[in-house]
Amino acid sequence: MREPRLRPRRPMASLTQEERNLLRILCAPIPTLGEQISRLAWAVESLWQRHIGQRELHRRLDALRDVVQAGMPQEHSAPEYAEAGLQRLAEATAQQANTVDFRPRPDGGSPLRLAAMTPPCQTEVGMRFRKVHGAANDFVLVAEPDPGQQWTGLAQALCARRTGIGADGLVTSTLVSTEPAVLEVACYNADGSVATMCGNALRCAARCAQEDFGLQEMTLVMAGVKHEAIVRDGEVRVTAEVGVVEMRRLQAVHCGRLLWFDSAYTGTDHVVAVVEDVDAIDAEAFGRLVRHHTDLAPVGANVSFIQSVGRQELKIRTYERGVEAETASCGSGAVAAVVIATTRGLVAPRQVTVHNRAGTPLTVHPHAERPGKAYWISGPVTTAYEGVWA
Ligand SMILES: N[C@H](CCC[C@H](N)C(=O)O)C(=O)O
């Protein structure tokens, strides 16, 4: 009988890491019944956390939303609410537009005559402009513009930071009547798109109307919507209308955590997320991703991150659609932030100070006659310089 040839045993130390791992698995002691039960319990628990837990979380959030909605007017929870809201806003807009008197005035002060009286923007050397900013949201403002001018391409050229004047947007302002004082104001984003509402642009237009015509109180019509404006004590305030508000409009993942964005229409589209620390957010990169979120397609939205920093105080950062960058402040965004913060119970429905990147806070307070439907946005406006675009 042949002797079995025994291979010399390799000492453990000479085994490779892979072999050692394999050995550990093969030689693992059979788990006791107790261990088997606890492993099963662990698997069930992690399954619950991952799937059922999420569902439970959503159930609780929905229940919470039901509680919040129970306190809201009945119509807000109906599915038709969003559509009805849009309809109401469209009607209100049409109505408001109709009430602006563009007809020639009996005293002969027709809009045309007024425009002829005011300094036209075109000079022999080029187009006169002012560089104005409302809490560092900066604009090229053209007063009494040429009515035949096409603005899309020109807005892009003027707003270009390296090759133009550089601004977040272009504002044109035309005096329509003096009694009552009404101006037609248009705002174009830096990419040439039309902004249907821009709180800071309106504030800048009001300041320039005060400089040009001595007006202190006036109506500004932007995209067919009337806004009240008051220039007083170094502050300029304008009104913003609030349309549809939708809580938990969309969800996005930030640093592995789910973040809800609520939306509020304040003349233009805004989505707002409440975060613990606005400074820890890359508002430019994350804002851009959310702005292009499929749930917001095709128009997208302005994206704000807000933080509660005390009683009636919020901190905000805003990525602006059309500027396609983070801006230093945003008026309609501040209103959207206050609307959402009020709905979520972070602030009371009174005046709120909104601290922005500019370090020049805007204050937002409910319109006394239309609480919940309109807000005042106040803050300073500065004319940096004037020039001629040749
Ligand atoms: N900065 C503006 C908002 C501009 C909105 C614009 N980016 C748009 O939605 O097209 C403000 O002070 O209200």
Instruction: Report the mean per-residue pLDDT for the chain.
Output: 83
Catalytic residue among 159, 187, 208, 330: 330
Q: What topology is assigned to 245-372 in CATH?
A: Diaminopimelate Epimerase; Chain A, domain 1 (3.10.310)
pLDDT digits (tens, 9 = 90+) for 63-119: 655 555 565 555 545 556 555 545 554 554 444 433 333 333 344 443 333 443 445
How many angstroms separate the CA atoms of 30 and 40, rounded?
15
Protein residue whose Cα sits closest to atom 4 of ligand 1: 198
List the beta bridge partners of residue 389: 127
pLDDT of residue 251: 95
Within 6 A (CB) of ligand 1 lie: 137, 189, 195, 198-200, 268, 302, 320-323, 327, 330-333
List the chain domain ranges: 88-241, 245-372
Nearest to 374 by CA among 271, 301, 265, 246: 265
CB 315 within 8 A of CB 306: yes
pLDDT of residue 265: 98
330 given a catalytic annotation? yes
Average pLDDT over residues 18-25: 59
Which superfamily, per CATH, for 88-241? Diaminopimelate Epimerase; Chain A, domain 1 (3.10.310.10)
Is the pLDDT confidence value at 125 over 90?
no
Output 15-19 pairs: Cβ under 8 A, ≥24 positions apart: none
Q: How far is the CA of 40 from the centre of ligand 1 (A)?
A: 55
DSSP code at position 292: T
Q: How far is the CA of 252 from the centre of ligand 1 (A)?
A: 22
27 given a catalytic annotation? no
Q: Identical fold at 88-241 and 245-372?
A: yes
How many angstroms separate the CA atoms of 374 and 108, rounded?
35
Cis peptide before 106 (omega within 30 of 0): no
pLDDT of residue 25: 53
Average pLDDT over residues 235-245: 98
How many angstroms separate the CA atoms of 260 and 281, rounded?
14
Catalytic residue among 198, 204, 208, 255: 198
Please give the annotated binding residues for substrate, written as ranges.
137, 189, 199-200, 302, 320-321, 331-332
Lowest mean pLDDT among 53-67, 99-113, 122-136, 293-307: 99-113
CB 97 within 8 A of CB 222: no
Backbone φ and ψ of 104, nearest 5°: -60, 140
Tokens of 351: 């005046």
Tokens of 370: 């239309």
pLDDT of residue 290: 97
pLDDT of residue 47: 60
Q: How confident is the model at residue 203 (pLDDT cuts 50, 70, 90)?
A: very high
pLDDT digits (tens, 9 = 90+) for 310-353: 999 999 999 999 999 999 999 999 999 999 999 999 999 999 99
Is the pLDDT confidence value at 62 over 50?
yes
Q: How far is the CA of 254 from the centre of ligand 1 (A)?
A: 24
pLDDT of residue 96: 41
Tokens of 237: 């305030």
